[in-house]
Amino acid sequence: DGRMGLVWDGENAQFSSRARVKFNLSGETDSGLSFGGSFRVDQENYNNEIDEGGNSNESNRSAARGTAGSVYISGTFGKLSMGDVVSAAEAAIGDLTELGYTSGEFAANPEEIDFLTGDGENEEQGPTALYEYTFNGVNLFASMTDGSRRDCGAGNVTYGTLGCYEFDEDDDTDVAFSLAAGYEFGAYNVALAYSENGDGREIVIGGTAAINEFKIKGFYADYDDRDLGQLGDFEFDFDDNADTFEVDYDRAYGLSVEYAMANGVGIQGLWIRREVEILEAFADGAEDAYDAYGIGASYDLGAGATLAGAIIKNEIFADNETRADVGIKFQF
C-alpha cells in the first residue's frame, strides 16, 4: 500500500507518506488443507518500532522469527494461525472505524481498542497461536502464548529464534490467553471475550449493526489489575504534576459510525473514552477519564485510491491539541 498527504500536528503542517509491500503466500495440500502465510517487507526489520516518545525500542520482531507476520493452516477443523496474530478478543470484536488517510495514526490511533493480549502485548513470549471455528453463524476464537518468556540477550528481546532458548535466563510466566465467541444474525453481530495476561483480566463486549447506508459499532471493555505499563499506544503524561502517581487501567468504551453514499463519498465519526483508577490519595483530583473523538470524510477514486481526511482530538496528548490529516491512500 501507499499514501501521501499532509498532517496538521496541532502546530505545524507536515508531509507524511509511505510505501509498503505485503507478501501473501498460500497453497493447498492433496487432502484439501489450505495453508499460507503473510508478512510485510518492513516486518523483516528488527529495529523497526519506536515508542510514543519517539525512541526506538528495538523490539526486534521479525517474520523470519515468528514474531511478525503469520502462517496458518485451515480445513474442516477450523483455522490455526501462528505468529504475530491478533488475540481471540480482537479477532471477534476488532477495532473501531479508522479515520483519515493515515487511518488514525496521526492522532495515536484512538480507533484501536486496547486489548489485553496480542496487539502489542506479551510480545516477549514469542509467537501467539490463534484458533478460529465457525458454524451456523457462531464464531469461536481462542488464542494463547506459550508461557515462556525468552529473556535472552540484552534487555528483554522478543526474538523468536530457536538458538535463544536458555533455561537459566528464560522465565516461566503465566500463559496469556484469550477466549471469545460471536454471533451473526443478518446485519447484526455481537461478540463477548475474556482474556488473561499475568495478573491482568479483561472482559470485552462489542457489537456492530449495518442499517442502510449506516454502519455502527460499539464496545465496552472492563479491566482488572491492568497497570499502565502494559498499555501500548496509551500513555499519560503527568509532567505538569510535581509528583507522578500510580494508576490502573479501569475500563474503556466507545462508538463509531460510518455513512457510505453510493457516489463513493463516506463520512465517519468516532468517540472513545478510557478511564483509569487513581491509586494514590493525593492525586484524587487528577483527571481519570480521557476522551478521543473525531470526524472524517473520504472519497473513493476507484482502483484502490481513496482521498481521505479527518480531524481528531485525543485527550491523551500532553498538549491536548487537535490534529488533522488530509491526503490520498493507495492499495497496490
Enumerate residues 165-194 that contact a copy of itself by CB under 8 A.
Answer: 165-167, 169-170, 172
Could you tell me the smallest distance in angstroms from the CB atom of residue 80 to a copy of itself?
A: 8
Q: Which is nearer to a copy of itself, 87 or 145 (CB)?
A: 145
Could you tell me the smallest distance in angstroms from the CB atom of residue 267 to a copy of itself?
A: 20
| Contacts to a copy of itself from residues 12-31, by CB under 8 A | 12-21, 23, 25-31
Could you tell me the smallest distance in angstroms from the CB atom of residue 54 to a copy of itself?
A: 3
Task: Assess contact for 149 and 171: CB atoms under 8 A.
Answer: yes
C-alpha to C-alpha distance for 40 and 42, rounded to whole angstroms: 5
| Contacts to a copy of itself from residues 88-127, by CB under 8 A | 102, 105-106, 108, 126-127
For a copy of itself, the binding residue among 61, 80, 308, 316 (CB under 8 A) is 80
In this structure, the chain runs to a length of 332
For a copy of itself, the binding residue among 92, 157, 180, 204 (CB under 8 A) is 157
Stretch that binds a copy of itself, among 113-121, 180-188, 199-207, 300-308 (CB under 8 A): 300-308
Burial of 17 (C-beta count, 10 Å sphere; 0-12/13-18/19+): middle
User: Helix-strand-coil percent breakdown of the chain, rounded to 5?
Assistant: 10, 50, 40
| Contacts to a copy of itself from residues 212-241, by CB under 8 A | 233
| Contacts to a copy of itself from residues 302-331, by CB under 8 A | 302-305, 319, 321, 328, 330-331
C-alpha angle with apex 121: 271 to 37, nearest 5 degrees?
100
For a copy of itself, the binding residue among 86, 90, 123, 150 (CB under 8 A) is 150
Stretch that binds a copy of itself, among 65-73, 184-192, 219-227, 289-297 (CB under 8 A): 65-73
| Contacts to a copy of itself from residues 240-259, by CB under 8 A | none
Q: Comparing C-alpha atoms, which of 300, 307, 252 is closest to residue 111?
A: 252
Could you tell me the smallest distance in angstroms from the CB atom of residue 43 to a copy of itself?
A: 9
Q: Comparing C-alpha atoms, which of 80, 73, 82 is closest to residue 31?
A: 73
Cα–Cα distances in angstroms (integers) from residue 171 to residues 136, 163, 166, in the given order? 42, 16, 9
Q: Which own/partner pairs from 283-286 qualify as long-range (CB within 8 Å, at least 24 positions apart)? A: 283/241, 283/243, 283/245, 286/238, 286/241, 286/245
Q: Which helix (H) or strand (E) holds 90?
A: helix 88-93
C-alpha to C-alpha distance for 140 and 226, rounded to whole angstroms: 25
Could you tell me the smallest distance in angstroms from the CB atom of residue 230 to a copy of itself?
A: 18
Stretch that binds a copy of itself, among 78-86, 110-118, 245-253, 255-263 (CB under 8 A): 78-86
Instruction: Tell whether residue 62 is a contact of a copy of itself (CB under 8 A).
Output: yes
For a copy of itself, the binding residue among 140, 164, 209, 255 (CB under 8 A) is 164
Q: Which helix (H) or strand (E) holds 144?
A: strand 138-144
